[in-house]
Structure 1
Amino acid sequence: METRTDLWTRRTGETHTVPPRLRLASTGTLKYGLPVREVLGVSTLADAELVAGAAGLDRIVQRLNVMEVPDVLAWVKPNELLLTTGYPLRNRPEALGHLVTGLNERGVAALAVKPGAYLDELPKEMLARADRLGFPLIQLPEHVGFDDILNQVLTDILNRQAAILARTEEVHRALVQIVLAGGGLPEVTAELAELLDGAVLALDGDERVLAGAGSAADLKTLELWLERHHGLGLHGDRVVVPVAAAGEDHGLIAAYFPGRELSDTEVGILERAATVAALVVTKQQAVAAVESKYRADFLRDVLAGRAGDAERVVAHCAGFGWDLARPVAVIVASPDLESDGSAVPVRQPDSAKHAQERLAAAWAAAVRRRDRDAAVAAFAHEVVAVVGLPAEGTLADLVAGLVREVSTAEGLEFTTGVSRPAPGPATLPEAYDQAGKAVRVGRQLHGPGETAHFDALGVYRLLSLVDDSAELHAFVAETLGDLAGDADPEAADLRRTLQVLLETNLNVAETARRLHFHYNTLRYRIGKLERMLGPFTEDPHLQLNVNLALRVLRMRGI
């Protein structure tokens, strides 16, 4: 049996026989077994002969079965070594060729036949077909019993599988101790890189590098390879395993071992390390959630004016890494929701809660890259950032860059509101109110996905400062009368005519062109509007009132 130098040999100086081959399934689950070539090396098969299908010697044997019925294809399983005397097909030797095809299609590892009692020899068609398919066909000697083969091969697989599990369990306990002692992903990856003598990276669910260990050149090579293409499993001298817990994907562990393949034990260790990494990530997420809530609660108090005097606010925020002693602006980003509460998608559907989490993480990352002293927190239905005024460029340029980066990265649609500059903590509640109003007015006027600056809202800024909405509604009803309601389609149509007429500064010809009306039709409509509203075409004060009422009506729901 072959021996191999691997992790345990390097650490202990001991050598041991090669453990059974492992294969990573698409989910990362390890599959244990022996290649057919190693099965042929056990003592009970010393006199067995491979008569066809040599190209399939690397097929994995995980279980054994004995063919006792002619319709065995209904009972076989993948990765089986099937044993037979040919008795079920003794009267139909021509069916053996079709049997090989059927077994190959069902993923059987190999077929071992003992001729003599029921088959004088294996048909040439059977041998030819096995060679074409790369399906190993083994001829057994007459003196070997099936029970001996079953016992020895299964015992060999199980014993060596147990040895692998024992070794990987020992390393798993060591990695868990690192975590229990307060270590995180940097310590786990460092231990793995030392044990496996390679480069190891831990990545989050978005495949951003969280930690890494190994030589700088090997880490760079591994990162570049991951950017281009990868899939779970073994890739020559590289391996990728998933980090998952409770059915949730937390990221990946990738490893690179230049110029050599991993031993089976080392692959098992990496998979156990992925479990430990999931423990680290979930612990960090729990801690981060508590810290994030505490930060958000304090920032909410600051923006509501409940956090105390300016000196206390500045000192407390400094502990979070926030600098609020400088001129700042408040930015509010609010996800645009469908009527069912789901986020308006740019690329894919999303729940409101998940959209909020993704939006908060993306805004925090984008803001931190531009201003490390900014405060960013997620509230119930919005993300709030308090950023310093840029030393170069304008606030509008800064916000446009943030919106562009977040919307491109996350594929979500959101409306953004920006306050006036705030000189200090005492003016932050007012600035937060301005940013919130900019969001609401901007979404109402321009639809979802817009960015609105409070200073650029014009007359809508003044209207939004009126706290008594009932008074605004009364003003609309008094000025527009029957035109204020939406129940009558004719009223809505006349209101549209009035809006365009005022936008063109009472230019009848231009209004008729925009609305595709005949000139005389529009003159008739203007007469009807004046009978309902009064002589607004001649009275500038009435015209101003009508214009304001239309704008208040447009802000309905704000």
Structure 2
Amino acid sequence: MLTVKNFLQLSPFKTFQLVAGEKGLDNKITGVNILDNPDASDWLSAGELLITSGYFFSENAEIQRRFIQRFKEINCSAICIKPHIYLKGIPESMRKLADELGLPLIEIPYGIAFSKIMNIVMAEISGRMNELNQASLDIHSQFFEISLHGGGMKKIASGLAEMVNNPVVLVDTDWSVTAISDKKQPLIQEIIKKNGDTLTFPIQTITDLPTNFERIQKPITRALSFEEQEYPCVIMPVYFDTIHYGFILVYLIERPLTDLDYVALENGSMAFALEQMRLLEIERTENRIRRDFFDQLLSGQIKDLAALATYDTTIDPNLNYTVLILSIQTIGHTSDSLMEKKQSEDRLMKSLLSSLTTYTSNRFPHLHLFSRKNQLVILLGTDPKLSALKTHNEVSDTAERIRIHLEQQGQSERDIFCTIGSTLPVLELSQSFEEAKKVILLLEDDAKEEKIYFFNDFYFDSFLVDSISKEQGRKFYTHYLSTLLTYDLENKTSFTPTLKAYLAHHLNIATTSRALFIHRNTLLYRIEKIKGLLSVDLEQEKNTFALQLALKLYELHH
């Protein structure tokens, strides 16, 4: 085992001078690294002996302090500096801080090559590799046992915390907490935040994280503030085979991590990923079973109550049911690849389904839920004795509460809207499902200013789409509106929406002008122009209906 003290006693290094950090002479040296780039500090490992010219230290005392502190947090064994090239000498402030931290500062004599130091140190420490490999195998076996017996995230967190002798927090890709080794730890209680029904780690408070650092597959160390003190936190990305599963956070409260602790961290990350895959597969299987049953129910394949009773389901045949479809559209970054976008959407749907299942389980006893692609499909049971108005209000209130809950979950940008079919007996649910899907189609090109849409509000639109072909609709609105539409297009006027508002307000000048926020005289001018462009008399009732129908068909096909 090579310590800093042993290193200084080696004959090639007898001229090296320890200038500070004598309390760290027993630090173990597990590797050696050359560092002359400040951005490379995230690539250092515990136990490494650092060799530097001091180039990036410059003469800036604050930079010197920050990096000495960072090297201590990483648990580097010692720092060897060759001064008089970029650094005039090792400043007193650096020596004082190194003494306080017990981090040895060693001055390299001029003329000693960095490569010579590296070769000698690596030769000295190579003898302990068998010991390290055996310890690594033992750690691997412990995590293998946890994974084999389905210990779960809690067992992984507590097992890893015991190995590294520090509190551990596991979070998913959205920084929502999946397991904590010690919930009573004051630092954890202070930093972990409650967000709806979930606990989250406030990653936004750490501002100097490398871009896409979750892909570097190497732990980095950052400081967390608590009660006017800073505590190092090791952040280990869990990223395998292009899939990001989350992060492992180790709060360095008891002691810095050793090289063996980092081996434990790597094995813990593998166990974390395997457990995430196992949970995902279980959830997919359960959702597939639910989806297969509901697909049969919603497609009308279950035709009587006797057939329904053969399924292991909590559907109550004595209730009426309403189908609600929540469509979730993620707002991704243009730089995201198709694979990244698909992975992001899959993670989001998994997270929302899990969160909504927990949220609704006790609040809505007659609610059933499953997911399909980017939709959450809900079957909501209501008492058939309720009036139509009370049923509508109950369904509307439930939809709004669920929508708000989903919008509050996680940090991903998303757009959520809900379409709702009719309330019907359980064996007629296929109609309610088709109605909810029909509303999605009717809204396809709309801005969706509202968030909840009932099929009953679109019944007329649905009737027109089902009864009048696109070609017939085009001929109809062209017959009545072609001159008006052409005039608006060529002159950049807005007579068509003016006509729509005028008809909607029953040809009332006062209410129409208020609705359009224009002066009465402006509206009268527009109406006269519209009358001159149209081939029908606006004052006849049959013509007003025909024009309203033409406007509706124009909207449906544009």
Verify same fold: TM over 0.5.
Answer: yes
- Cα 1:274–1:485, aligned 2, differ >3 Å: closer, same or farther? farther
Aligned residue pair count: 470
- Aligned-pair distance for 1:61? 8.6
Q: Which is worse superposed, 392-401 or 51-60? A: 51-60
Q: Which is worse superposed, 408-417 or 361-370? A: 361-370
Asked whether the equivalents of residues 200 and 255 of structure 1 are also in contact (C-alpha less than 8 Å), the reply is yes
**Secondary structure of the equivalent of 2:538?**
coil
Counterpart CA distance in 1 for 2:279 and 2:369 is 19
- Aligned-pair distance for 1:509? 6.1
Query: Residues 373-412 of structure 1: matches in 2 within 5 Å?
Result: 374-380=367-373, 382-389=375-382, 394-409=394-409, 410-412=412-414
Partner of 1:233: 221
Counterpart CA distance in 1 for 2:89 and 2:82 is 16
Counterpart CA distance in 1 for 2:49 and 2:301 is 71
Asked whether the equivalents of residues 331 and 385 of structure 1 are also in contact (C-alpha less than 8 Å), the reply is yes
Asked whether the equivalents of residues 8 and 16 of structure 2 are also in contact (C-alpha less than 8 Å), the reply is no
Counterpart CA distance in 1 for 2:261 and 2:421 is 56
**Secondary structure of the equivalent of 1:414?**
strand
The aligned amino acid for 1:375 is: H
Match of 1:522 among 517, 526, 535: 526
Match of 1:361 among 339, 350, 364: 350
**Secondary structure of the equivalent of 1:110?**
strand
**Secondary structure of the equivalent of 1:306?**
coil
Match of 2:481 among 480, 483, 493: 483
- Aligned-pair distance for 1:502? 0.8
| Identity rate, percent | 16
- Aligned-pair distance for 1:377? 2.7
- Aligned-pair distance for 1:180? 3.2
Match of 2:132 among 164, 167, 172: 164
Partner of 1:29: none
The aligned amino acid for 1:528 is: G
The aligned amino acid for 2:298 is: L
- Aligned-pair distance for 1:443? 5.4
- Aligned-pair distance for 1:168? 2.2
**Secondary structure of the equivalent of 1:270?**
helix
Q: TM-score if structure 1 supplies the norm length?
A: 0.67
Matched, 1:272 2:238: no
Deviation by residue 1:385-411 (Cα, 9 ceiling, x = unmatched): 223449997322221122223234342
Counterpart CA distance in 1 for 2:106 and 2:337 is 53
Partner of 2:121: 153
**Secondary structure of the equivalent of 1:387?**
strand
Partner of 2:453: 452
**Secondary structure of the equivalent of 1:488?**
helix
Counterpart CA distance in 2 for 1:180 and 1:360 is 27
Partner of 1:334: 327
Query: Residues 240-251 of structure 1: matches in 2 within 5 Å?
Result: 240-251=235-246
- Aligned-pair distance for 1:172? 0.8
- Aligned-pair distance for 1:167? 0.6
Counterpart CA distance in 2 for 1:422 and 1:56 is 78
**Secondary structure of the equivalent of 2:369?**
strand
- Cα 1:354–1:546, aligned 2, differ >3 Å: closer, same or farther? farther
- Cα 1:222–1:314, aligned 2, differ >3 Å: closer, same or farther? farther
The aligned amino acid for 1:521 is: Y
Flag structure 1 segments of 5+ consecutive residues without an equivalent: 1-16, 21-33, 66-76, 83-98, 114-121, 337-342
Deviation by residue 1:242-266 (Cα, 9 ceiling, x = unmatched): 2221132211223457544444423
Structure label with greater radius of gyration: 1
Q: Which is worse superposed, 363-372 or 298-307? A: 363-372
- Cα 1:493–1:473, aligned 2, differ >3 Å: closer, same or farther? farther
Partner of 2:80: 110
Counterpart CA distance in 2 for 1:370 and 1:527 is 56
The aligned amino acid for 2:404 is: R
Matched, 1:302 2:297: yes
The aligned amino acid for 1:429 is: S
- Cα 1:522–1:166, aligned 2, differ >3 Å: closer, same or farther? same
Counterpart CA distance in 1 for 2:115 and 2:353 is 65
Counterpart CA distance in 1 for 2:471 and 2:485 is 16
**Secondary structure of the equivalent of 1:420?**
strand
Matched, 1:432 2:433: yes
- Cα 1:467–1:127, aligned 2, differ >3 Å: closer, same or farther? closer
Counterpart CA distance in 2 for 1:147 and 1:476 is 80
Flag structure 2 segments of 5+ consecutive residues without an equivalent: 35-42, 59-63, 68-77, 99-104, 194-200, 207-219, 224-230
Counterpart CA distance in 1 for 2:120 and 2:190 is 46
Counterpart CA distance in 1 for 2:522 and 2:114 is 99
- Cα 1:298–1:56, aligned 2, differ >3 Å: closer, same or farther? same
Counterpart CA distance in 2 for 1:251 and 1:422 is 43
- Cα 1:329–1:194, aligned 2, differ >3 Å: closer, same or farther? same
- Cα 1:207–1:490, aligned 2, differ >3 Å: closer, same or farther? closer
Partner of 1:69: none
The aligned amino acid for 1:536 is: L
The aligned amino acid for 2:350 is: A
Match of 1:44 among 5, 11, 24: 11
Q: CA RMSD, aligned part only?
A: 4.9
- Cα 1:311–1:184, aligned 2, differ >3 Å: closer, same or farther? farther
- Aligned-pair distance for 1:269? 1.2
Deviation by residue 1:97-143 (Cα, 9 ceiling, x = unmatched): xx955486699942579xxxxxxxx99x98745656659454779xx
Q: Which is worse superposed, 353-362 or 170-179? A: 353-362
- Aligned-pair distance for 1:273? 1.2
Matched, 1:536 2:504: no
Counterpart CA distance in 1 for 2:264 and 2:109 is 37
Partner of 2:71: none
Counterpart CA distance in 2 for 1:461 and 1:551 is 13
Counterpart CA distance in 2 for 1:237 and 1:64 is 21
Deviation by residue 1:198-254 (Cα, 9 ceiling, x = unmatched): 54443222233333445x523x75354344656743765754422221132211223
- Cα 1:471–1:101, aligned 2, differ >3 Å: closer, same or farther? closer
- Cα 1:169–1:389, aligned 2, differ >3 Å: closer, same or farther? farther
The aligned amino acid for 2:403 is: V
